[in-house]
Amino acid sequence: MTGEQISATLLKRFSPINGLKRDNLAALLRKVQLRELSPGQVLFKEGDTEKRTFYVVTGILELLDQGKVVETVEGGTDPARNPVAPIFPRRLSARARDRVQFISIDSDLLDVMLTWDQTGTYEVSELQGKSDAGGEDWMTMLLQTKAFHKIPPANIQAIFMRMQQINYKSGDVILKQGAEGDYFYVLTRGQAVVTRETPLSKEGIKLAELQVGDTFGEEALISDAKRNATVTMTADGSVMRLGKDDFKKLLNEPMLEWLSQEEAEKIVASGGRWLDVRLPSEFDNQHMDGAVNIPLYFIRLKINTLDRDTKYVVCCDTGRRSSAGAYILNERGYQAYVLRGGINKN
């Protein structure tokens, strides 16, 4: 399978990618490639759990249940606008009938981008300008890192809003090996180097070079240990930092009540409701019976249409966007829960 870069126009053909704002679409575009399958080649097998989102661009992809073709997806058709068999683990296998071109995207990355795109709609003007260079670029880069995928999305906005900007000159030490941990850092401009002093090297062994969007300092905060390395600026730049208490509160304390599929169904059966916060195109393609659809970016506008006496089980593909939606509801006095793992896990 070969890979080549694709255009934004092509990427916007697919749902829910077509709902991303321009900057986030451009950021995602840098992480996506066009790949190819030969006739008879398998894209994935029933039971696979690798979190990749696939879209068919050209050709015909066969979906098989125990070796029997039960459905086909042809590039350029309406069904091809949606992800191929998105539920994990895969319930079907996928095989190319002819030459197939397809797009492959890290599912966690796509979900993080969708969450930030929708969560940040109302406060984006406040976030811009907090760093004197790069605008939202460093935030977008940060959200693309695997480590940040683990952060509860309901906290993402609060984290960014509580960060402080600190400027440094080349040669300045940001944190020193052996010192107490007090902040979590994101490099937003310039470059830095990570070094560790050893008995054989007082000058320090270089462990890593940091670029814009890289994070550091979290190990000491999580473990309540001393700093295990020194970070020094190698060019003029700046960081955004988050205090230890905020770091622990926003990242480590459980904020929301997560439900299993069985627990969620009991609440719905006893008078609760499913609240699906995905985009309408995703909802139309697949949703829970009886669910009401309010996209995440509309929650604040339509929250008054919800019944305060009803318990809501908020759901999306994975639980990332729904946790953000449940946070908003709970903050405003509604009873909201989150479906653990999302509807694609069931």
Active site residues: 316
How is 133-145 classified by DSSP, letter by letter?
SSTTHHHHHHHTS
Helix axes 22-29, 107-119, angle to 10 degrees: 160
How far apart are alpha carbons 178 and 181 in whole angstroms? 9
How far apart are alpha carbons 275 and 338 in whole angstroms? 10
Nearest of 345, 335, 328 to residue 268 by alpha carbon = 335
Provide the 3-class DSSP secondary structure of residue 161: helix
DSSP letter, residue 226: B
Q: What count of other Cβ atoms lies within 10 Å of the Cβ of residue 149?
A: 19
Q: Where are the alpha helices (DSSP H) in 41-152?
A: 107-119, 124-127, 137-143
How far is the first Cα of the chain from the last one, in angstroms, to the nearest whole number? 30
How far apart are alpha carbons 30 and 143 in whole angstroms? 14
Is the distance from CB of 275 to CB of 314 less than 8 angstroms? yes
Is the distance from CB of 293 to CB of 320 less than 8 angstroms? no
Is the distance from CB of 96 to CB of 38 less than 8 angstroms? yes
What the block records as the tokens of 280 is 């309408």
Is the distance from CB of 268 to CB of 251 less than 8 angstroms? no
How far apart are alpha carbons 82 and 282 in whole angstroms? 8
